[in-house]
Amino acid sequence: MIDLKRISKWVNVGGKPNFILKDINLQINEGEFVSIMGPSGSGKSSLLNIIGMLDDASEGEYYFLSQAVHTLKEKQRSQLYKQYIGFVFQAYHLIDELTVYENIETPLIYQNIKGSERQAMVADILDRFQIVGKKDLFPTQLSGGQQQLVGIARALIGKPKLLLADEPTGNLNSRQGEEIMDLFKQLNNEGVTIIQVTHSEKNAGYGSRIINLLDGRIDNN
């Protein structure tokens, strides 16, 4: 599903390239549950952003479902990730001005899905995550765990093949964290490919594979 070839990312600091990622070669198959680990500043989030097509690599080739992402234009890329990728963030990144329902609905609006269909889809997922009762609340009225639940629901509403999660439990307590990881495991079992960035060995244990990053390189595989 994902094929990264010699991916590097650098920024210029005082005229010298400062490598964030160096020579990353990585294949991830459909149905895998991969955890990316590593100390702060090792490039985990940058790798995730590149995989999520939110950011460009400075060098290298990236094939997603056999499409050469590195040759695509911004618009085509956004078309691609809109369709296949869902994002979950550490800080949830819900829109404060919108209700739970509206937050979950937003991606569908940008995928030009009709109103009636949207209603059915949002109702489904609210039901599945057992947050129907919260649909008219605003994010600030929810606990962290509940907010993250909404965040995941929003990521899944478009039925993505790939779920990218950047420290999804980082702002949660351990019980809430466990619930989220159980949910991930369950989703993975249903066939969703998941890549998560995490600091926690325990969370990494939920996955089928662990990638260790150190100073922008893959340490062991």
Given the rule CB under 8 A, which residues bind other proteins? 49, 52, 54-55, 75, 78, 81-82, 87, 89-91, 93-97, 106-107, 110-111, 140, 154, 158
Compare residues 13 and 220 and give the one whose CB is closer to other proteins: 13
Question: Closest separation between CB of residue 221 and other proteins, Å?
Answer: 26
Determine what percent of the chain falls in helix, strand and coil, rounding each to the nearest 5.
Answer: 40, 25, 35
Residue whose C-alpha is closest to residue 151's, from 174, 115, 125: 125
Task: Give the Cα separation of 150 and 89 in Å (integer).
Answer: 11
Question: Closest separation between CB of residue 215 and other proteins, Å?
Answer: 18
Question: Closest separation between CB of residue 162 and other proteins, Å?
Answer: 14
Residue whose C-alpha is closest to residue 42's, from 165, 200, 219: 219
Compare residues 108 and 131 and give the one whose CB is closer to other proteins: 108
Residue type, 160: P
Q: How many CB atoms lie within 10 A of CB 137?
A: 15
Question: Closest separation between CB of residue 24 and other proteins, Å?
Answer: 17
Compare residues 135 and 185 and give the one whose CB is closer to other proteins: 135
Spatial neighbors of 125 by CB under 8 A, at least 6 apart, are 104, 153, 156, 157
Question: Closest separation between CB of residue 119 and other proteins, Å?
Answer: 18
Compare residues 65 and 210 and give the one whose CB is closer to other proteins: 65
Compare residues 134 and 154 and give the one whose CB is closer to other proteins: 154
Task: Give the Cα separation of 150 and 41 in Å (integer).
Answer: 28
